[in-house]
């Protein structure tokens, strides 16, 4: 009888543990609105899976990250993204990769966040000034100057950036903890949204003259659209 009680207690403990550890799956896209009629649905949280019998070695292969990208643009950088959209074999694996090329003397990957991933960055060539800011209310800024061979990590959801402070081009590779980490470039999102955010709301939030906000919106909205 005692063994029965022990077994029952173990079953109840296991059940309670499984319920306590249950959670919703992490989002793999910006949103996924529920719908009752599946025939009208076109997206899933992630990607549909290929028939395993049709999978080939090329599904797990990507090439081209050895090629330098053009950094002749407004910010002086170019990010080559390798996520599930470019590399189907990443589906469900929770990882992705980017190559970042920086122009000399100030090429920048501007302040941005990844809403679904942490990031670990490895500097292959050059010298970068990098950093991230923690959440409210402290808004603590952590920064470091990286040299060839250095590694720096950016926690999930933190605003972060990288700037080339060297006189030669810089190249970095970063791994992110999601097959589709997403990226929100702060200036582009705030001043280049479609439709535009009311400039008076932004003027108060950023403590700027409304005409300055309108000028920024014109600049970033034109760039984004």
Q: Over the stretch 166-202, which tens digit does the pLDDT of each residue have?
A: 999 999 999 999 999 999 999 999 999 999 999 999 9
Instruction: Give the span between the Cα atoms of 150 and 40, in whole angstroms.
Output: 49
| Interval 135-142 mean pLDDT | 97
Q: Does the structure show a pLDDT above 90 at 122? A: yes
3-state secondary structure of 210: helix
Handedness of CA 17, 117, 58, 54 (dihedral sign): positive
Q: Does the structure show a pLDDT above 60 at 15? A: no
Instruction: Give the span between the Cα atoms of 190 and 169, in whole angstroms.
Output: 29
Tokens coding 136: 């409210």
Q: Does the structure show a pLDDT above 60 at 1? A: no
* Of 145, 148, 104, the residue nearest 128 (C-alpha): 145
- pTM comes to 0.84
Instruction: Please give the DSSP secondary-structure letter assigned to residue 141.
Output: E
Find out whether 153 and 121 touch, Cβ atoms under 8 Å. yes
Instruction: Give the span between the Cα atoms of 18 and 36, in whole angstroms.
Output: 28
Q: Does the structure show a pLDDT above 50 at 19? A: no
Q: Over the stretch 63-94, which tens digit does the pLDDT of each residue have?
A: 999 999 999 999 999 999 999 999 999 988 89
């Amino acid at each position: 009888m005692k063994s029965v009680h022990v077994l029952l207690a173990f079953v109840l403990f296991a059940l309670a543990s499984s319920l306590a550890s249950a959670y919703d799956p992490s989002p793999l896209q910006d949103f996924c609105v529920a719908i009752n009629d599946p025939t009208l649905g076109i997206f899933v949280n992630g990607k549909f899976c290929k028939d395993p019998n049709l999978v080939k070695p090329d599904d797990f292969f990507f090439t081209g990250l050895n090629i330098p990208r053009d950094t002749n643009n407004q910010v002086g950088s170019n990010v080559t993204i390798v996520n599930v959209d470019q590399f189907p074999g990443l589906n469900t694996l929770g990882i992705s990769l980017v190559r970042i090329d920086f122009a000399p003397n100030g090429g920048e990957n501007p302040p941005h966040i990844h809403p679904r991933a942490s990031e670990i960055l490895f500097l292959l060539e050059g010298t970068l000034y990098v950093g991230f800011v923690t959440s409210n209310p402290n808004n603590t800024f952590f920064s470091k100057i990286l040299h060839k061979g250095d590694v720096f990590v950016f926690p999930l959801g933190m605003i972060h950036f990288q700037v080339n402070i060297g006189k030669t081009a810089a190249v970095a590779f970063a791994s992110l903890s999601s097959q589709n980490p997403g990226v929100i470039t702060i200036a582009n999102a705030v001043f280049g949204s479609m439709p535009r955010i009311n400039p008076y709301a932004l003027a108060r939030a950023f403590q700027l003259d409304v005409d300055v906000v309108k000028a920024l919106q014109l600049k970033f909205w034109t760039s984004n659209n």
